[in-house]
A and B are shown apart, each in its own frame.
Chain A
């Protein structure tokens, strides 16, 4: 077996942990700079109030929920193929949501007051709900991991797995509802966003899982069993197609309403976001992965499946960028039927470009998720050990 020798492996681990830690630290440093100087040092303004940090944070939070697919398939739906992979999916969920929440919290105008979010609760706020949803998510996933890794707790694994499954559906409903409950913006304000975010989480979470799983197998000099690859790539293709379906329905419904036609034309054809939508979200993030996952010569090879999964992740970022930034760049229709202008960008399309501190903070979220995963895998042996043992015994 072509694994690294233990000394090299240990050195490689410390190198990865150091890189992850450095990226995280730079992200925190960027947040401190933003905190000290104010959001004047960002590209965000009073029209585009949520920027690149929110794109990264929402990707991490949505994918964190979806990455638990693998655990749910094993525990809730009894698929034995997925059971050895459940602990890794739990770890990734905790790591990714930590990275996402860190970015969201560090981007706050008053990040120093984060404790206020815990001591003052508004029950009508979707953000307020999330203040409950996220900590409980940590709790249920931690308990779930415990039931999977502690032999005495095995009898509770199914219950914990089911609770986690329900909770992640609730959690992602909450994330989608952040946008679904906005009353006046053409890009948002539809209940479709709640189920759409759930299917997006399934898709993006599984894509991340596939990439991480393959990386770890490669590290250990192993290749994914063909059956596992086959099942997981089929599942990914199904989710990619489902996201495409929701995307089509969302835009068709919007285009059908006269009041939203101008926005649809803007986002699909007449803005900097149009190219991101068609090339980034649809071509790179949807059609290419689907082709790679269904075309027999590529679908059978782990490399191409992983490339497809990576493309899905890249497409996810385009998707969220178009959705979040594009949705805000289009002016609010405060006076329907009138052309308007003012000193405050009324009636005008806004243009956003992220500043360096924003970018570093955003990457810091990825750094936190990466570092937590690297350390977690090293310390707690999250890899599907039974699977490895089985393969090693079989001489793979």
Chain B
């Protein structure tokens, strides 16, 4: 079932910014991906990805953009955890606690078996970056927030660790940091006692890059881009193949969509 993204107001400068951004993003990519492996992954995914413009420091995220992901469950290889490894390396999620239920998991693989016919599927699950996020609604301090470009984040300075957002999230996408942390990635601040979840690698997106999970997928199962731009690869795919929003009955209008489930 395909659900068309609601039409939003268009910024007349979008096309120009997108064109200019293509060059910037391209330069950025070669600069940060010198390794053979990353280049190979980049090539594998190149056809699927949009080249987004880097956001200037100090400038606000644009409401004309809505970043999203399309995940093709048919391509997601059984047992493969490369997206998880890449995410947790990128974001410095490395703690291994005696009780694994207390570990943070920004992204996880879920194995599905259709009860009607036994069909097996695997897919990565993370924050779905809802347009109407319950976590943002319930957060008492406003620490859970949705950026203008649709990325749902937690402000680590105002999160008080009440975990109400974890109760409210229909996707179990959030984790509480259960221990003191060391050796964090400076670009991805995390903190004991705060709730956290997938940021859609906002620090990379703001530099014109794609999320680490997307870049790492050897099957090219994940497409990242601007859902509001009809010319983007993700928007074209969504317009041409049936895609699903998980628990679409909740009308949360997630930015993460799935194909093949």
Write the residues of chain A forming the contact surface with B, with a CB cutoff of 8 angstroms. 35, 37-40, 45-47, 49-50, 108-111, 113-114, 116-117, 120-122, 124-128, 130-131, 178, 181-185, 328, 332, 334-346, 350
23 contacts between A and B (CB under 8 A): A38-B177, A46-B103, A46-B166, A49-B176, A108-B193, A109-B192, A110-B161, A110-B194, A113-B158, A113-B161, A128-B140, A181-B138, A182-B167, A184-B168, A332-B170, A334-B110, A334-B170, A335-B246, A338-B115, A340-B113, A342-B125, A345-B172, A346-B108
Answer yes or no: B87 CB below 8 A from chain A CBs.
no
Assuming the contacts A39-B102, A127-B162, asked whether A334 and B193 have C-beta atoms less than 8 A apart, the reply is no
Once bound together, how far apart are the Cα atoms of A38 and B110, in whole Å?
28
- Structural contact, A40 and B178, CB atoms closer than 8 A: yes
Once bound together, how far apart are the Cα atoms of A39 and B252, in whole Å?
30
Write the residues of chain B forming the contact surface with A, with a CB cutoff of 8 angstroms. 97, 99-105, 108-116, 125, 134, 136-143, 158-164, 166-172, 174-180, 191-195, 246-247, 250, 252, 261
- Structural contact, B101 and A46, CB atoms closer than 8 A: yes
- Structural contact, B170 and A39, CB atoms closer than 8 A: no
- Structural contact, B159 and A110, CB atoms closer than 8 A: yes
- Structural contact, B140 and A39, CB atoms closer than 8 A: no
Contacts of A183 in B (CB 8 A): 134, 168, 170, 250, 252
- B114 to A, closest residue via Cβ: A338
- Structural contact, B168 and A339, CB atoms closer than 8 A: no
Assuming the contacts A37-B179, A38-B192, A338-B113, asked whether A109 and B172 have C-beta atoms less than 8 A apart, the reply is no
- Structural contact, A120 and B142, CB atoms closer than 8 A: yes
**What is the CB-to-nearest-CB distance from B73 to chain A, in angstroms, rounded to a whole number?**
11
Contacts of B99 in A (CB 8 A): 40, 45
Contacts of B137 in A (CB 8 A): 124-125, 181
Once bound together, how far apart are the Cα atoms of A120 and B176, in whole Å?
20
- B169 to A, closest residue via Cβ: A184
- Structural contact, A108 and B160, CB atoms closer than 8 A: yes
Assuming the contacts A38-B192, A39-B193, asked whether A117 and B114 have C-beta atoms less than 8 A apart, the reply is no
- Structural contact, A342 and B110, CB atoms closer than 8 A: yes
Ranked nearest first, the 8 interchain pairs of A and B with the lowest CB-CB distance are: A109-B161, A109-B193, A184-B170, A127-B140, A45-B101, A120-B141, A49-B163, A40-B178
Once bound together, how far apart are the Cα atoms of A46 and B99, in whole Å?
10
Contacts of A117 in B (CB 8 A): 140-141, 160
Once bound together, how far apart are the Cα atoms of A244 and B135, in whole Å?
32
Contacts of A45 in B (CB 8 A): 99, 101-102, 178
Contact of A345 among B101, B104, B161, B180 (CB under 8 A): B101
Q: Is the interface of A mostly helix, strand, loop or mixed?
A: loop
Contacts of A113 in B (CB 8 A): 158-161
- Structural contact, B167 and A49, CB atoms closer than 8 A: yes
Contacts of B105 in A (CB 8 A): 46, 343-344
Given contacts A110-B191, A122-B139, A335-B261, 5 further A-B contacts (CB under 8 A): A38-B177, A40-B97, A46-B105, A183-B168, A335-B110
The total number of A-B Cβ pairs within 8 Å is 177
**What is the CB-to-nearest-CB distance from A142 to chain B, in angstroms, rounded to a whole number?**
24
- B249 to A, closest residue via Cβ: A336
Contacts of A109 in B (CB 8 A): 159-163, 176-177, 192-195
Contact of A126 among B111, B138, B141, B159 (CB under 8 A): B138
- Structural contact, B175 and A46, CB atoms closer than 8 A: yes
- B171 to A, closest residue via Cβ: A334
Contacts of B168 in A (CB 8 A): 181-184
Once bound together, how far apart are the Cα atoms of A69 and B159, in whole Å?
36
**What is the CB-to-nearest-CB distance from B184 to chain A, in angstroms, rounded to a whole number?**
15
Contacts of A127 in B (CB 8 A): 138-140, 162, 164
Assuming the contacts A49-B163, A109-B163, asked whether A340 and B178 have C-beta atoms less than 8 A apart, the reply is no
Once bound together, how far apart are the Cα atoms of A109 and B141, in whole Å?
14
Contact of A343 among B108, B134, B142 (CB under 8 A): B108
Assuming the contacts A45-B99, A110-B159, asked whether A184 and B111 have C-beta atoms less than 8 A apart, the reply is no
**What is the CB-to-nearest-CB distance from A329 to chain B, in angstroms, rounded to a whole number?**
12
Assuming the contacts A46-B105, A342-B109, asked whether A108 and B170 have C-beta atoms less than 8 A apart, the reply is no
Contact of B158 among A37, A39, A116, A335 (CB under 8 A): A116
- Structural contact, B171 and A342, CB atoms closer than 8 A: no
Once bound together, how far apart are the Cα atoms of A335 and B112, in whole Å?
8
Assuming the contacts A46-B175, A122-B141, A183-B170, asked whether A350 and B101 have C-beta atoms less than 8 A apart, the reply is yes
- A122 to B, closest residue via Cβ: B142
- Structural contact, B167 and A185, CB atoms closer than 8 A: yes
- Structural contact, B101 and A47, CB atoms closer than 8 A: yes
Q: Which of B140, B170, B171, B180 has the most CB of A within 10 A?
A: B140
